[in-house]
A and B are shown apart, each in its own frame.
Chain A
Amino acid sequence: MTQHLRTAARDAGGVWAGLFALGIGFGVLVTEHGLPWWLAPIISGVVFAGSAEFVLVGLVAVAAPVATVALTTFLVNSRHLFYGLSFPLHRVEGRAAKAYSVFALCDEAFAILTARGARELNAGRAVATQLGMHLSWVSGAAVGALAGSAFLHGLQGVDFVLTALFVVLALDAYRDCPDRLALGTALGAAVLAWAIAPGSMLLVALSGYTAVLVVRHWYAPRSVEHA
């Protein structure tokens, strides 16, 4: 395992550090919402899905219905449905390792482990890489929440970290896939949802956007798929 951890650190050390730092932001956000500090590492440990956790905290803090939590998580995390198609799980041997690898298949794990190529991957390396991400994220959240409850409390502007994260992710997503129609309809759905249902904006916007995509699918020229 030491060997695997060393390889994993070489592959993903930068990502581990990034997740630790972002985890601090998440932890601070948890205490800013008036939730107890220990909830931050617990949420990070069991959900382990960055964007969804930032959203989840806002929902839990206002005691949104569990059905709203489930549906919003589904829509925010729906991209994970496609990670499994190219993730080389057959290289991760052993039931426990496979189960953990699927459980901890966050964006960063998918990106790093799939990019390395199936031939180089094995169970030890996959589990070590993902465990490092998981521990970095959880410990960052704990540190951030403790700092948040100890001396950052009441500091103005700390929850800006959520806005910054999502704006940066959107810039990156548009650079990866400069699809103006997707950007425009998503912006339209979001602004409309905010105008008509500010309290459940995410749910309304993401459901509306999904409905638009289904319509777009039916009207999209078929030949594009083979282009």
Chain B
Amino acid sequence: MPEPGYVVGALAAAVAVTVALRALPFVARAAVKDSPLLADLGRWMPLGAVTVLAVYGLTRLDLHGADRGAGPLLGLVVTVVVHLWRRSLLLSIVAGTVVCVAVSSLA
């Protein structure tokens, strides 16, 4: 584990930024509301941010383990298929992760 002092500092930074983002629109409502640039960012950011996060998640898959990536890749297929089928966030994640863990452990 990293230094306790570092962990406290990193957490404090994450908390400060998150709270500031949540509180700012109430404090400076007009400034946020009347900015066309922020309006466009608000419209385009959510999809872009989660897309970047999804690619980040994909780059973290271990394709060089004993199963040569079979677990993560099958888990990914199951996650996507189950999600397109049932559209339940939780069900898709649990199904994909269980398949990934099962296949990886069997290898």
Contact = CB atoms under 8 A, between A and B. Distances in A.
Interface of A: 18, 21-22, 25, 34-36, 39, 42-43, 46-49, 51-52, 55-56, 58-61, 63-64, 66-67, 69-70, 73-85, 89, 102-103, 105, 155-174, 176-177, 179, 182-183, 185-187, 189-191, 193-194, 198, 201-202, 205-206, 209-210, 213-214, 216-217, 220, 225
B56 to A, nearest CB: 5
B7 A39 contact: yes
A182 B44 contact: yes
Contacts of A66: 6, 9-10, 13
A82 B49 CA distance: 14
Contacts of A176: 46-47
Given A60-B2, A167-B76, A217-B40, A161 B93 contact: yes
A210 B36 CA distance: 15
A84 B94 contact: no
Nearest to A33: B1
B6 to A, nearest CB: 6
Given A63-B3, A166-B57, A172-B87, 18 more contacts: A47-B14, A69-B10, A78-B41, A79-B49, A81-B32, A156-B107, A157-B75, A157-B100, A157-B104, A157-B105, A160-B71, A162-B57, A163-B75, A164-B79, A182-B47, A191-B55, A202-B52, A213-B44
A205 B55 contact: yes
Interface of B: 1-3, 6-7, 9-11, 13-19, 21-26, 29, 32-33, 36-61, 65-67, 71-72, 75-76, 79-80, 83-84, 87, 89-90, 92-94, 96-97, 100-101, 103-105, 107
Given A163-B57, A166-B54, A169-B50, A21 B94 contact: yes
A77 B47 CA distance: 12
A157 B52 contact: no
Query: Main SS of chain A's interface residues?
Result: helix
B15 A163 contact: no
B82 to A, nearest CB: 9
Given A18-B89, A77-B18, A84-B32, A160 B100 contact: yes
A85 B59 contact: no
A59 B21 contact: no
A21 B90 contact: yes
A213 B76 CA distance: 29
B37 A190 contact: no
B54 A170 contact: yes
Given A21-B94, A209-B48, A73 B53 contact: no
A225 B37 CA distance: 11
